[in-house]
Amino acid sequence: MLRVQHALLSPMESLVSASTAVVPPNAVANSRSAWSVLKFGGTSVSKRSRWDTIGRLAMARQAESGPVLVVVSAISGVTNALLAIIDAAQRDADKTAALVSALCETHREFAATLQIDADGVIGHRFAELRALSGDARATCADVGWQAELQALGELMSSALGEAYLNQQGIPIRWIDARQHMRAIVLPNTTEWAARLSVNCHIDTSPDYRAAFAEQGALLITQGFIARDEAERTCILGRGGSDTSAAYFGARLQAARVEIWTDVPGMFSANPREVPQARLLSRLDYEEAQEIATTGAKVLHPRCIGPCRESRVPLWIRDTERPELAGTLIDASAADAAPGVKAISTRKGIVLVSMESIGMWQQVGFLADVFAIFRAHGLSVDLIGSAESNVTVSLDPSENLVSSNVIDALCADLAAFCRVKVIVPCASITLVGRGMRSLLHKLSDVMAVFGRERVHLISQSSNDLNLTFVVDEAAAEGLLPKLHELLIASGAMPVDEAAVFGPSWRQISGQAAARAACWWQSRQTALLSLATGTPRYVYHLPTARARAQALAAVEAVDRRFYAIKANPHPALLRTLVDAGFGLECVSEGELRHVFASVPGLDPVRVLFTPSFAARQEYAEARALGVRITLDSVYPLQMWPALFRGLDLQLRIDPGFGSGHHEKVRTGGKGAKFGLPATRLAEFLAAADVVAARVVGLHAHIGSGVTDAAHWRTVYSQLAGLAEQIGTVESIDVGGGLGVPYEPDAPDFDLQAYGRALAEVKAAWPQYELWIEPGRYLVAEAGVLLTRVTQCVDKLGVRRIGVDAGMNALIRPALYGAYHEIVNLSRLEDAPGAPADVVGPICESGDVLGRRRRLPASTQEGDVLLIATTGAYGAAMASTYNLRALPAEELLDD
Ligand code: ADP
Ligand code: ASP
Ligand code: MG
């Protein structure tokens, strides 16, 4: 059985730690104590099996390196339930009682799964809960009362955990975190923050450590809670258990702090929202701080500071997948090449825009307005300023949500300026070192924002972030698209194996759904075809399979293959046999299809050129194919050519879409299509020559993965068709995306079919036409190329091959990714990352960066570049006078 070394699978293999000892004790600086602090979040303490893992991990750490402190959150959902009680207790006694009973019952049920008697272990907490819920302080929502109630969640979970682990024979001892976490009052702290979002004192004295150690070598305590100087209970703010663990780590000068949660590390985006997000194996404190501050909930933003100051390494790991090594955050992160490491988002951003005519050069204006923010306990985050306007953003804090502080702020600001509050907004932040040197790679990302209403752009002075503030609704669904563009443009250097691990999709097993590629089981056949390289090989059964899959999309009445993707005659015949017509964009293509497919009926051929010369239309007319026009110029300048014809009209729907700016064919920036505003003019010109518009067409880009896009296009065209009256068919073009990355999902043909069925049902009077190119042939083709030289230069390894950008231009032109494997050594393990480069005299002649081909790769080996059936040979050139690549077919 052939085993393919997927370059992208290897980081995952390397991330699996052989033992649970992820930081060898001898790697720890001598000044450190041997303490390990292990924090387990809500989901990590909500199942019996996870408590078994907690016990195992704690014992393992103790055996490996020394004493262990386990810090726990409340059981999943419990803090929310306590907040609901706090809310109800202020006005509805019955509801409060019901919520309190339900919360006690939740704990009883959970304790039962642990075979623990809840009332015996935490019965006194239930009593406290009941008493607090009826406390007189509820009427004024007293912040101290709120803190005491919220603290109960962690107090209960830690006590149940202690009882269970003891019952399992693990001698862990419960301690009250409030004896150790001492809240400090910072300048300008509000009453609210002084109890409900506290910072804590870090005592790193040896005396403290010695006293702490007296309590035992295996301890369990609560995250989230602290005590102030008056011995009153305080809390650290939502998600604050991470920060408790960090404070303990700093105070104990621990060997490490481990944050155990429900994802195996910090990712390049929230993995729940962006399945393609990549695990960040290594980060330095500053980058991790930036990612956490800008929205990655996996770490409480305040948790990095204590670790950074004390130089305690911080790990993020997954309780459900303890074998994965996760993310390591420390001071010595991997090689810091500029690059976007992550994209994060925060909702609930409040923008305050302050307009003042006389502000320009007015000394002290900012001091005056910022004093007002301070007075309201509001910290300003982003700032944009102009001659007469200053706009600032406020962090989404519970303080903002739970009081009318904004109204009060505006009332006070009104004395100085005109105030406008813009809500709800969301910030989207790109985080990484050297953002300012990356701007040239961000043009696609900028283009996406260019289509939204951006209220504020801010670039941090530490050059670690670039933030865009947009309306909250506009941010919806934007992250996966932006993440994809960051990878495609090379701004996010995911080939840096030292930093970027596998994707969430790979880790969570979703990637397995994709079928094996045809070439994986044809090593021998392909090697025998690699006699003259570079050589494309096309697998006809794959093209047939794609054609059949599309033919099964019921809503479609007619389908055409856009031959520009790959005009190989055998592919044309295969697709015509499968029921496809052919769509051509030049006179040359027209001649080619009639020469390649004997007896081809012209009604099966479309001619959709762009800025073609007059005689090309004449030729198309003579051949009897359906002509598409996309401006009024040909009709007005060469009316005789179109007299009496049935025409198709290409509309520009006003927006583009696709995997790269260069393949987006809609919108003002693109040369294609008639804007709807000029429809009347076009129809008038057609009328003059008695031509009829019988079809409408739009194709707004290529490599589109969201089916909603075609629904939008069709609806727009159908609206115009109704105005025209003579339209019989609507052609929504192609653009269907294909999976280029090994872990990318297949195009969702079901969703595509559903979207088309919806529009077809809404406008059954029109025939629905499609004209895909890439989708039919991309995966059917591979490019075989031979290794010419392997060269190490100044620490960069390069594998030279005989195919360059002349044979395959997509990586150079679009920054496109193509999987590359060593076909001669499929069984060999991946080696160090190397760039695969061609023989063309251009520094952009790179086919793949940082690829982990086998270390044994040598001159003469055959490399296979996958998914090159579309726009591979078709875009090849003889640049540098290198021969065009050969082409070969496989039909089994
Ligand atoms: P816990 O209860 O263990 O403290 P949280 O829910 O607070 O866990 O944090 C883990 C969650 O953080 C993940 O399930 C994920 O949805 C979210 N998250 C947001 N951004 C990121 C990111 N960049 N990397 C990893 N996780 C993230
Ligand atoms: N239980 C608290 C919360 O849900 C703290 C934490 O889990 O980190 O916010
Ligand atoms: Mg958390």
Q: Dump pLDDT digits (tens) for 67-117.
A: 999 999 999 999 999 999 999 999 999 999 999 999 999 999 999 999 999
d(CA 250, CA 37) in angstroms, rounded, equals 10
**For range 810-838, the mean pLDDT:** 92
pLDDT of residue 705: 67
- HEC sequence for 847-889: EEEEECCECCCCCCCEEEECCCCCCCHHHCCCHHHCCCCEEEE
pLDDT band per the 50, 70, 90 thresholds, residue 332: confident
pLDDT band per the 50, 70, 90 thresholds, residue 10: very low
Q: What's the CA-to-centroid distance between 267 and ligand 1, angstroms? A: 9
pLDDT surpassing 70 at residue 599: yes
Between 364 and 649, the more confident residue is 649
For atom 7 of ligand 1, the residue with the nearest CA is: 298
Probe residue for ligand 1, chosen from 270, 343, 486 as the CB with the greatest number of ligand atoms within 8 Å: 270
Question: How do the residues of the chain divide into helix, strand and coil, expressed in percent and rounded to 5?
Answer: 40, 25, 35
Q: Is 453 in the pocket of ligand 1 (CB under 6 A)?
A: no
pLDDT of residue 238: 93
pLDDT of residue 188: 79
pLDDT of residue 664: 57
Average pLDDT, the chain: 90
Between 670 and 656, the more confident residue is 670
Q: List the shell of residues around ion ligand 3, using CB closer than 5 Å.
A: 41, 239
d(CA 532, CA 883) in angstroms, rounded, equals 11
Note the ligand closest to the C-alpha atom of 243: 2
For atom 5 of ligand 2, the residue with the nearest CA is: 239
pLDDT surpassing 80 at residue 26: no
pLDDT surpassing 80 at residue 316: yes
Note the ligand closest to the C-alpha atom of 40: 1
pLDDT of residue 20: 36
Q: What's the CA-to-centroid distance between 238 and ligand 2, angstroms? A: 5
Q: What's the CA-to-centroid distance between 176 and ligand 3, angstroms? A: 20
pLDDT of residue 491: 93
Q: Is 296 in the pocket of ligand 1 (CB under 6 A)?
A: yes
pLDDT surpassing 90 at residue 358: no
Least confident of 105-109, 539-543, 707-711, 745-749: 707-711
Q: What's the CA-to-centroid distance between 223 and ligand 3, angstroms? A: 10
pLDDT tens digits, 183-227: 998 887 888 899 999 999 998 899 999 999 999 999 999 999 999
pLDDT tens digits, 600-636: 999 999 999 999 999 999 999 999 999 999 999 999 9
Judged on CB neighbours under 10 Å (0-12, 13-18, 19+), 398 is middle
pLDDT surpassing 70 at residue 174: yes
The continuous run of DSSP H or E covering 507 comes out as helix 504-507
pLDDT of residue 784: 98
Q: What's the CA-to-centroid distance between 153 and ligand 2, angstroms? A: 9
pLDDT band per the 50, 70, 90 thresholds, residue 672: confident
Q: Is 319 in the pocket of ligand 1 (CB under 6 A)?
A: no
Residue type, position 27, single letter: A
Probe residue for ligand 2, chosen from 73, 78, 85 as the CB with the greatest number of ligand atoms within 8 Å: 73
* Full-model pTM: 0.71
pLDDT of residue 185: 87
pLDDT of residue 534: 98
Q: What's the CA-to-centroid distance between 107 and ligand 3, angstroms? A: 20
DSSP state, 376?
A: T
Note the ligand closest to the C-alpha atom of 46: 1
Percent of the chain exceeding pLDDT 90 equals 72
Note the ligand closest to the C-alpha atom of 483: 1
Q: Is 261 in the pocket of ligand 1 (CB under 6 A)?
A: yes
Q: Which atom of ligand 1 is nearest to the CA of 291?
A: 23
H-type helices in 647-735, by residue range?
Answer: 679-688, 708-724
Parallel/antiparallel/unpaired status of strands 781-793 and 465-471: unpaired
pLDDT surpassing 70 at residue 335: no
Question: Cα 774–780–786 angle (5° rounding)?
Answer: 110
Note the ligand closest to the C-alpha atom of 293: 1
Q: Which atom of ligand 2 is nearest to the CA of 154?
A: 1
Q: Which atom of ligand 1 is nearest to the CA of 342?
A: 23
pLDDT of residue 666: 59
Q: Is 290 in the pocket of ligand 1 (CB under 6 A)?
A: no
Q: What's the CA-to-centroid distance between 197 and ligand 1, angstroms? A: 20
d(CA 456, CA 354) in angstroms, rounded, equals 13
pLDDT of residue 30: 46
Catalytic residues: 841
pLDDT of residue 735: 86
Highest mean pLDDT among 301-310, 329-338, 825-834: 301-310
- Pocket around ligand 2: residues whose beta carbon is below 6 Å from it? 41-42, 73-74, 79, 153, 223-224, 238-242
d(CA 207, CA 70) in angstroms, rounded, equals 21
pLDDT of residue 96: 97
Q: What's the CA-to-centroid distance between 146 and ligand 2, angstroms? A: 14
Q: Which atom of ligand 2 is nearest to the CA of 241?
A: 8
Q: Which atom of ligand 1 is nearest to the CA of 316?
A: 25
Q: Is 298 in the pocket of ligand 1 (CB under 6 A)?
A: yes
Least confident of 195-209, 660-674, 717-731: 660-674
Q: What's the CA-to-centroid distance between 266 and ligand 1, angstroms? A: 8
Q: Is 347 in the pocket of ligand 1 (CB under 6 A)?
A: no
pLDDT tens digits, 550-593: 999 999 999 999 999 999 999 999 999 999 999 999 999 999 99
pLDDT of residue 753: 93
Percent of the chain exceeding pLDDT 70 equals 92
Q: Which atom of ligand 1 is nearest to the CA of 269?
A: 23
Q: Is 703 in the pocket of ligand 1 (CB under 6 A)?
A: no
Least confident of 43-57, 411-425, 662-676, 791-805: 662-676
Between 472 and 616, the more confident residue is 616
pLDDT tens digits, 110-167: 999 999 999 999 999 999 999 999 999 999 999 999 999 999 999 999 999 999 999 9
Least confident of 53-57, 309-313, 546-550, 740-744: 740-744
H-type helices in 176-303, by residue range?
Answer: 191-196, 206-213, 241-251, 285-293
pLDDT of residue 654: 77
Q: Is 802 in the pocket of ligand 1 (CB under 6 A)?
A: no
pLDDT of residue 855: 94
